[in-house]
Structure 1
Amino acid sequence: MLKGLGGLGDMTKMMKAAQEMQSKMEELTAQMDSLTVTGESGAGLVKATATAKGELTGLEIDPSIFVPSEKEVAEDLILAAIKDAQAKASERYQSEMRKLTESLGLPPDMKLPF
């Protein structure tokens, strides 16, 4: 189809492969939003539920380790602290990715993986 045009045929193949990779990454990202995992501690007294992407969606604490009337307050405080840590981790990840793209001579706002 592109015979006689030098490396354009290879470039077309590379672009198609990049588009396929992007499509697969989008599919994987969507799957990670709907997949949940549960972590436990204290022999199941504390349970945290999160998406596979790491977004915490719930926290359950057995009231036997707290004063029962303070259970919801303790859960809210723990959940807020975890979400704050996740936000800082995300910011750090993005900062490190910007450094990586710049060191490779790519535009700093380029998203990796493609």
Structure 2
Amino acid sequence: MKDLMGMMKQAKAMQEKMQGLQAEIAEITAEGQSGGGVVTVTLKGQGELVSLSIDPSLLKAEEKDIVEDLVVAAHADAKKKLDTTIAEKTQELTAGLQLPGGMKLPF
């Protein structure tokens, strides 16, 4: 019974930490670039696009396809950085916990 109470306390503490982590993740931003910085995208923690910057030199009708590809590439770069930051923060939170293999946090 003592072990059960200890596990319940651990679960509650973990839940509180996860709530804090989720709030922290919501405030993280990541910036991605493509084309040597001519297109810049900024994402917030939940993947929300908060800004897009396109160098005026790209704004020519005949370069529409290039601009579209650069926006997609910048978004992918920002998403990769965001995912890496979230994974690092989650790893810090769960350090020392014995979680089942393959369990991903936050849920």
TM-score, structure 1 length as denominator? 0.51
| Structure 2: runs of 5+ lacking an equivalent | 62-66, 80-104
Q: Bigger shift: 9-18 or 45-54?
A: 45-54
Task: Give the paired residue count.
Answer: 71
Shift of residue 13, structure 1, vs aligned partner: 0.6
TM-score, structure 2 length as denominator? 0.53
Tell me which residue corresponds to 1:47.
40
- Which of 1 and 2 has greater Rg? 1
2:47 maps to a residue whose letter is: G
2:37 counterpart SS class: coil
Superposition CA RMSD, Å:
2.9
Shift of residue 113, structure 1, vs aligned partner: 5.3
Higher RCO, Cα 8 Å, sep 6+: 2
Deviations 1:39-83 (Å, cap 9, x if unpaired)?
A: 111111010101133222111111211238xxxxx88xx69xx7x
> Relative to structure 1, is the Cα distance of residues 19 and 10 closer, same or farther in structure 2, using a 3 angstrom cutoff?
same
2:36 counterpart SS class: coil
Identity %: 43
Is residue 7 of structure 2 the alignment partner of residue 14 of structure 1?
yes
Distance in 2 of aligned mates of 1:49 and 1:12: 44
1:25 is aligned, of 12, 15, 18, to 18
